[in-house]
């Protein structure tokens, strides 16, 4: 049976076997460069609230030179928590650009988590002060965990991590993940924790502003993850105007990211930073912000990598998909 008459299915278990954090960082870096060099296209984002209480989105794009075409259907269903399941859900589909036939369907949850973590890691490596020792993380869920893990990898000087939960209490599970690598403890007050931190990571559902603008001191770097839909925000009014702002995509940031609240603020796309190949020069008092809304190219480049690995290692379930 020829491969073009079959469909490869990669479930959660397959993806977890194939994923390598280091290789994902390489793939995400490639996606930023493809975007900057205009070799990869991003199609208009779909992001809509549902009557069920969920949020449904589609991110899609292509890289013609690589024969890469596809989309990720994803969103946020808070009701899943009531049955002990993950509220973020994602499915990635790779499509043959010559025939329009689907070639691979992949569980996208782990891919979304780790590619966002990898993007955050690249941002910290290029934008944050390398001597940073203190960090504050808003959120303790899956995305906060992966962002913290990568932050400790790329900023080895980090020694102290404070975190904020939605209820303001402790999260023993989060602490246990990082206790061997740094001092980790709950923050008693959001503003005080931000003021004491060199790095701030916001990884919440983006329902409301998390801290006051006046709490952010010169020299701070902030990575923003939670604003990915119209109406969402994590940063206070006036902060973007004080900072050097970097985005994964300028259009998306204005449409669904933090720049929807300050669309006239100038920004730089992060792909240009990577293309220059040098850590961004910054003054000791400069505030930098990286607004990550997530690129379809990140999902597709990582998915293509897994598809290739799966073929080499015989991983996945192949089903007949005749013309």
pLDDT digits (tens, 9 = 90+) for 243-302: 999 999 999 999 999 999 999 999 999 999 999 998 898 888 999 999 999 999 999 999
| Together in a domain, 185 and 279 | yes
| Together in a domain, 253 and 282 | yes
- Mean pLDDT for 155-167 is 95
User: Which residue from 169, 175, 130, 129 is spatially nearest to 148, judged by alpha carbons?
Assistant: 175
Average pLDDT, the chain: 95
Q: Tokens at residue 256, please?
A: 């669904």
Distance CA 246, CA 251 (A): 12
| Together in a domain, 262 and 139 | yes
CATH of residue 282's domain is 3.40.50.720
Q: Is the dihedral of CA 220, 133, 272, 108 positive or negative?
A: negative
| Together in a domain, 275 and 230 | yes
| Phi, psi for 182 (deg, rounded to 5) | -165, 170
Residue 192 has pLDDT above 50, yes or no: yes
| Together in a domain, 262 and 225 | yes
Residue 4 has pLDDT above 70, yes or no: no
Q: Is residue 92 part of a domain?
A: yes
Residue 2 has pLDDT above 60, yes or no: no
Residue 168: the pLDDT is 86
- Mean pLDDT for 4-18 is 93
| Together in a domain, 210 and 254 | yes
Q: Where are the beta strands (DSSP E) in the chain?
A: 6-10, 41-42, 46-49, 55-63, 68-76, 88-95, 102-107, 134-138, 160-164, 183-186, 199-202, 221-224, 244-247, 268-269, 288-291, 317-320
Question: In percent, how much of the chain has pLDDT > 90?
Answer: 91
- Mean pLDDT for 145-157 is 97
Distance CA 259, CA 250 (A): 9
| Together in a domain, 288 and 224 | yes
Residue 9 has pLDDT above 80, yes or no: yes
Q: Would you place residue 166 in the very low, low, confident or very high pLDDT band (cuts 50, 70, 90)?
A: confident
Q: pLDDT of 94-137, one tens digit each?
A: 999 999 999 999 999 999 999 999 999 999 999 999 999 999 99
Domain interval for residue 107:
3-111+297-320
Distance CA 238, CA 224 (A): 15
Q: pLDDT of 18-73, one tens digit each?
A: 999 999 999 999 999 999 999 999 999 999 999 999 999 999 999 999 999 999 99
Q: Is residue 150 part of a domain?
A: yes
Question: In percent, how much of the chain has pLDDT > 70?
Answer: 99
């Amino acid at each position: 049976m020829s491969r073009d008459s079959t469909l490869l299915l990669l479930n959660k278990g397959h993806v977890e076997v194939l994923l390598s954090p280091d290789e994902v960082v390489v793939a995400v870096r490639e996606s930023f460069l493809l975007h900057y060099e205009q070799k990869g296209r991003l199609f208009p984002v779909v992001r809509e609230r549902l009557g069920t209480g969920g949020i449904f989105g589609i991110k899609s794009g292509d890289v013609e030179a690589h024969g890469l075409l596809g989309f990720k259907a994803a969103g946020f269903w808070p009701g899943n928590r009531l049955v002990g399941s993950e509220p973020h859900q994602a499915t990635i589909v790779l499509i043959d650009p010559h025939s329009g036939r689907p070639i691979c369907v992949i569980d996208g949850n782990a891919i979304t988590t780790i590619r966002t973590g990898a993007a955050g890691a690249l941002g910290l490596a290029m934008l944050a002060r390398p001597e940073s020792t203190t960090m504050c993380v808003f959120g303790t869920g899956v995305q906060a965990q992966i962002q913290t893990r990568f932050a400790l990898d790329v900023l080895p000087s980090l020694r102290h991590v404070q975190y904020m939960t939605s209820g303001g209490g402790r999260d023993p599970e989060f602490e246990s993940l990082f206790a061997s690598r740094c001092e980790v403890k709950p923050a008693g007050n959001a503003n005080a924790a931000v003021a004491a931190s060199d790095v701030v990571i916001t990884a919440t559902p983006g329902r409301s502003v998390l801290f006051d603008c006046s709490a952010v001191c010169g020299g701070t770097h902030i990575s923003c993850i939670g604003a990915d839909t119209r109406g969402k925000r994590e940063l206070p009014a006036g902060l973007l105007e004080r900072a050097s702002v970097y985005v994964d995509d300028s259009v998306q940031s204005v449409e669904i990211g933090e720049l929807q609240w300050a669309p006239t603020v100038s920004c730089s796309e992060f792909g240009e930073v990577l293309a220059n190949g040098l850590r961004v020069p910054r003054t000791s008092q400069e505030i930098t912000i990286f607004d990550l809304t997530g690129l379809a190219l990140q999902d597709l480049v990582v998915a293509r990598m897994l598809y290739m690995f799966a073929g080499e290692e015989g991983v996945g379930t192949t089903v007949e998909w005749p013309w």
